[in-house]
Amino acid sequence: MRKLSIIIPTLCVAAAAVALVVRPGTSQPAPSKLVVGIYAPSVEFGTSQDRLSYVQGLAKAIEAQTGVKTEAKSFASFGALKSAGVDFAIVDAQCYAANLGWNLLANAQIGGSGARGWALFSGGGNMQALAGKKLAYVQTGCNDNGFIDNAMLESEVGAGFFSARVGKPDLTAAVAEVASYKGAQAVFAPVGAQKGLTKLFDTASVPNPAFVQINSKVPAATTDKVGAAVTRFGGGGAISGWSAPSKGAYQGLAGRMGKVVKSGIFATPDPVRFEVKDVLIEPATMSETATTGVRQHFEQPPARMD
């Protein structure tokens, strides 16, 4: 009995340890600190300080919801955000489309919608007049060529159509490169951000930035609280609010960023029905095949010559 009384408590401790391993999301303690970053160059915040102020306000809302000290950081490049070790982040749709493995917690709302229509803008003229000219774009480092050539131009325009591509750090700078500095003659931008430029044609709808979980080690209970805080955050300004996560739009953008090779389509011909008599020539036949209908004739051979 002495040995049994020792073994049973030991087994209970081992079972409890297994339970903790099986359910990490519900048993792990909350972290002592969270870091929230932002890299959303396609959103016009006005100044870099306005961008930082927005994410700082969001960090305060998260801290109030989770009870965990939360720090906010703004990044000038996507690479800097990825290497900084942040736990959560606001990232441009283009960058999330290239990193769909991250946990999506909320979709940004701009102008009351989860997506914006984009278009090609220039100082005037038409598409043909842009051949050999420069194109300004927001340089995100997230498959920029795929975004321009395939998502915006639908793989219809050759990579050499524009003589050069001028990458700018954010949307405001990209539009100004065409509208003010004349360093380029065309730019892709959301409709409404053209600053007096002429719209040549609409391209496609692009989802707004995503709020994602980058650090997968954050406990599930804490992550749920962060998501709830974000969707309740109004904030105002460039991003008017957040909605519940919907991944489909970003998956669609990821698909459009891939090159599409188009080829001619051969239509299936309609079946043609015809009678055999229409294609066969019937030979003249006798009305009665059992008889020849021809009299028998005999021919006398010539006389034998002696």
- CATH code, domain with 83: 3.40.190.10
Question: Is 198 in the same domain as 244?
Answer: no
Q: What pLDDT score does 249 carry?
A: 96
Average the pLDDT over 75-84 and give the result.
Answer: 96
Whether 286 has a pLDDT exceeding 60, the answer reads no
Whether 118 has a pLDDT exceeding 50, the answer reads yes
Burial classification of residue 2, based on how many CB atoms lie within 10 Å of its CB (0-12 exposed, 13-18 middle, 19 or more buried): exposed
Domain end among 173, 206, 239: 206
Q: What is the 3-state secondary structure (H, E, C) of 167-230?
A: EECCHHHHHHHHHCCCCCCEEEEECCCCCCCEEEEEEEEEECCEEEECCCCCCHHHHHHHHHHH
Q: What pLDDT score does 295 carry?
A: 57
**Cα separation, 240 vs 261, whole angstroms:** 38
For 24, the 3-state DSSP assignment is: helix
Higher pLDDT: 122 or 1? It is 122
In a domain, 242, yes or no: yes
Question: Is 92 in the same domain as 217?
Answer: yes
- Give the distance, in angstroms, between the CA of residue 197 and the centroid of all CA atoms in the same chain: 27
Question: Is 104 in the same domain as 233?
Answer: yes
Question: Is 101 in the same domain as 130?
Answer: no
- Among residues 198, 68, 183, 74, the alpha carbon closest in space to that of 133 is found at 183
pLDDT band at 25 (very low <50, low <70, confident <90, very high): very low
Q: What pLDDT score does 270 carry?
A: 72
In a domain, 8, yes or no: no
Buried b (16+ CB within 10 A) or exposed e, 103-138: bbbbbbbbeeebbbebbbbbeeeeeeebeeebbbbb
Average the pLDDT over 224-231 and give the result.
Answer: 98
In a domain, 292, yes or no: no
Average the pLDDT over 66-81 and give the result.
Answer: 97
Alpha helices in 23-111 (DSSP H): 24-27, 48-66, 78-83, 93-97
Q: What pLDDT score does 159 carry?
A: 84
Q: What pLDDT score does 12 carry?
A: 47
Average the pLDDT over 5-17 and give the result.
Answer: 45
pLDDT band at 267 (very low <50, low <70, confident <90, very high): low
Question: Is 109 in the same domain as 219?
Answer: yes
Whether 191 has a pLDDT exceeding 60, the answer reads yes
Q: What pLDDT score does 284 carry?
A: 61
Q: Are 239 and 111 contacting, i.e. CB atoms less than 8 angstroms apart? A: no
* Lowest model confidence (mean pLDDT) among 6-15, 40-49, 241-250, 274-283: 6-15
Whether 174 has a pLDDT exceeding 60, the answer reads yes
Burial classification of residue 170, based on how many CB atoms lie within 10 Å of its CB (0-12 exposed, 13-18 middle, 19 or more buried): buried
Higher pLDDT: 130 or 235? It is 130
Domain residue limits at 68: 29-114+209-256
Q: What pLDDT score does 305 carry?
A: 61
**Cα separation, 188 vs 208, whole angstroms:** 15
User: Locate tokens 């990044």: which residue?
Assistant: 75
In a domain, 56, yes or no: yes
